Amino acid sequence: MKEIFDIVSQSCSKEVTRAYSTSFSLATKMLAPSIRQHIYNIYGFVRFADEIVDSFHNYDKKTLFKRFEVDLDNALKDRISLNPILNSFQNTVHEFNIDLALIESFMMSMRLDLTKSVYISEDEYRQYIYGSADVVGLMCLKVFVQGDSEKYEQLKDSAMSLGSAFQKVNFLRDLKADYEGLSRTYFPNTNLEALDETDKQNIIEEIESDFRRGYEGILLLPTEAKFGVFMAYRYYRRLLKKLKKTPAMEIKNSRIRVPNYEKFGLLTRSYVKYQLNLVK
């Protein structure tokens, strides 16, 4: 039965989220059951595409990515895929009428990771972030507002800002892996060989500005989504705080993280703030 296959597909997307990101999985669990699975479905899709271009070094990445693109196109067209991740993703796309242009922008940024390693201009940098992060925030927003077009338009800019903030924190945290492992540098006009406190502070100020705009949207989210997104926001703010306190050259030479015990403590404190209506 197709229903059984769909259940199996959804389980795969949930497992991908759990296996690849403790923090995102924890935040997603805080969403209402009515929307939670669909966020797993979106995460599973974007994670698989990202893994192809970032991790499969001993394989022909371009060929694998092209196959993935073809399978994605067929899944969206046929409303089914034997790839369970794509099958669950296409269900979410069709149920919430996610704009295909968002998906294409995402795939375009992933495609850039196969060939492009340096982002020199602000335009290149912002275009990449739009495709790799902002559109993912917009896909999730489609689910959060559950078809309310007016609400979607109202929160669109905030969702993009939050997506940008999350991505830029990831860039700063992963400087060492991106630069040494993948020969990539995303921040324009920044010499990673001699990253100094001024460069680091400029990046952090840009991220904090994104966070401020993103937080404004969190306050206006439907109840089903608000606490889960607030939890993700709190986690990334904590990570940024750690990065802010870490010397610039140490960021370049190590990977800063939030230990699991801190994540669960953060969850508890965030829940208290939320229940006391202090999220305002």
pLDDT tens readout for residues 32-70:
999 999 999 999 999 999 999 999 999 999 999 999 999
pLDDT score of 106: 98
Domain of 30 in residue numbering reads as 2-275
DSSP lists the bridge partners of residue 118 as 185
Residue 235's closest CA among 145, 170, 190, 154? 170
Res 147: pLDDT:
85
Report, as ranges of residue numbers, the positions in the chain whose pLDDT lies below 70: 179, 192-193, 256-280
Nearest to 140 by CA among 234, 42, 28: 42
pLDDT value at position 66? 98
Q: Which two tokens stand for residue 217?
A: 């949207």
Residue 232 counted as domain residue: yes
Count other C-beta atoms under 10 Å from residue 199's C-beta: 16
For residue 280, tell me if it sits in a domain. no
d(CA 66, CA 94): 23
> How many CA atoms are closer than 13 Å to the CA of 57, on its beta-carbon side?
5
| Count: domains in the chain | 1
* Residue 39: CATH number of its domain: 1.10.600.10
**Which residue in 273, 270, 277 sits closest to 232, CA to CA?**
270
What pLDDT does residue 207 have?
Answer: 96
192 within some domain = yes
1's CB contacts (< 8 A; 6+ apart) are: none
pLDDT at 173: 86
pLDDT of residue 107: 98
80 in a structural domain = yes
Residue at token pair 């990539």? 184
Residue found under tokens 């406190």: 197
Q: What is the pLDDT of residue 261?
A: 52
pLDDT for the residue 276: 46
The answer to whether 279 and 226 are in contact (CB under 8 A) is: yes
